[in-house]
């Protein structure tokens, strides 16, 4: 994170304020780091892209709105819906595709440097930012 947006460990970060610093959808911002993990937030609407993280689980916490995550598992495809306050972990190696029919905001925990479109993915649509996260305030 840049020096202008980096907070010290003693400074609390209000997620509601952090979400006001950007408008881009599917473009995660790094709020802080915990050990070797990024704590990222993102505004979402519409569909992401089918993708897989081969070596890491992906943690989702819905802050506002609702998020649907489609999963391709050994028994077939299924979908989970997360309302505000709900958490879900997509296990490593599981193809998944998040989407939101309306506006939603989500918090993620991922190892620093993890691409937002996974290690493998379908074609990335223009509205999805293929990134390892942006500094808060950028």
Whose structure tokens read 């937030």? 41
Residue 27 falls inside a structural domain: yes
Residue 57 falls inside a structural domain: yes
For residue 128, give every residue at least 6 positions away whose Cβ sits within 8 Å of its Cβ, in sequence order, or none: 26, 48, 49, 116, 117
Q: What is the mean pLDDT of the chain?
A: 92
Measured between alpha carbons, how far is 61 from 104 in angstroms, rounded to an integer? Answer: 11
For residue 109, give every residue at least 6 positions away whose Cβ sits within 8 Å of its Cβ, in sequence order, or none: 34, 37, 38, 39, 40, 58, 59
Q: Are 100 and 45 in contact (CB under 8 A)?
A: yes
Residue 86 falls inside a structural domain: yes
Domain count, the chain: 1
Residue 98 falls inside a structural domain: yes
Residue 115 falls inside a structural domain: yes
Report phi then psi at 55, rounded to 5.
-115, 10
Residue 2 falls inside a structural domain: no
Q: What is the pLDDT of residue 9?
A: 60
Q: What is the pLDDT of residue 7?
A: 52
Per-residue model confidence as pLDDT tens digits over 99-126: 999 999 999 999 999 999 999 999 999 9
Task: Give the pLDDT band (50/70/90) at residue 8.
Answer: low
pTM: 0.89
Measured from the Cβ of residue 35, the count of other Cβ atoms closer than 10 Å reads: 6
Mean pLDDT for the stretch of residues 22-47 = 96
CATH code for the domain in which residue 56 is found: 2.60.120.10
Residue 93 falls inside a structural domain: yes
Which tokens go with 113?
A: 């440097």
- The whole domain housing 29 covers 23-135
Question: At 101, is the secondary structure helix, strand, or coil?
Answer: strand
Closest C-alpha among 116, 132, 138, 136 to residue 52: 116
91: region left, alpha or beta (phi > 0 left; psi from -120 to 50 alpha)? beta
């Amino acid at each position: 994170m840049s020096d202008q947006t980096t907070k010290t460990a003693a400074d609390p970060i209000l997620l509601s304020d952090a979400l006001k610093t950007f408008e881009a959808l599917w473009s995660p911002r790094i709020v802080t780091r915990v050990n070797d993990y990024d704590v990222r937030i993102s505004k979402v609407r519409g569909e992401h892209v089918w993708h897989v993280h081969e070596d890491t689980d992906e943690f989702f916490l819905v802050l506002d709105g609702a998020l649907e995550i489609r999963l391709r598992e050994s028994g077939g495809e299924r979908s989970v819906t997360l309302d505000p306050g709900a958490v879900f972990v997509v296990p490593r190696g599981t193809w998944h595709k998040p989407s939101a029919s309306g506006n939603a905001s989500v918090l993620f925990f991922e190892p620093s440097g993890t691409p937002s479109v996974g290690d493998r993915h379908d074609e990335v649509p223009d509205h999805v930012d293929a990134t390892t996260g942006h500094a808060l305030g950028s």
